[in-house]
Amino acid sequence: MEYAQKTAPACPFQKRYPSQLIRDDLFFMTLAYNEALDAWKSNEVPIGAVIAFEQNTVGTGHNRVESSNDPTAHAEMIAITQAANAIGDWRLNKATLYVTKEPCPMCSGAAIMARVGRVVYAVPDIKMGGLGGALNVNEYPGMNHTTVIDTGVMQDDCLELIQTFFRLKRGEEPRII
């Protein structure tokens, strides 16, 4: 079955350019936010991810499900693959995954299987979140690895981005906060 490809609504948000001098959670989440903007401009759900290792970006990704016709082409999956290739090890114990929305169960499982040391997400997802929103893969009994989870960095900005995208896709007026 073919689905009609709609064009992306005009994106009212601009990329941000954080200072390279302070590479904290806000810095890396800003880079993930910029990845989400790239997803929007490609008519993908605007989710972005960045993986930091030793204060450097080693993986980036944004959703590419529609453009690649691949249901696994989520921002987190792309970033995890890039990071593992960049550091030459599938074990990302000392890495942090930054993502603009709580990872789904598939991406949460991938983060745990890759032994990502820490996951930071901006917006919780009570319907499909895999790290506490709908369920918590991290607390599954018998797991040989768990990750540290932190939330809320740039939550308002990332929520506004996602909500505006879907409002505009539906033809509604955006509610800019």
- Which residues belong to the active site? 76
d(CA 5, CA 172): 19
Q: How many CB atoms lie within 10 A of CB 20?
A: 7
Helical residues (DSSP H) of the chain, grouped into ranges: 25-41, 65-68, 75-87, 105-113, 155-169
Give, as one character, the DSSP assignment of residue 138.
G
Distance of alpha carbon 138 from its chain centroid, rounded? 17
Strand order in the sheet with 118-123: 56-62, 48-53, 95-101, 118-123, 148-151
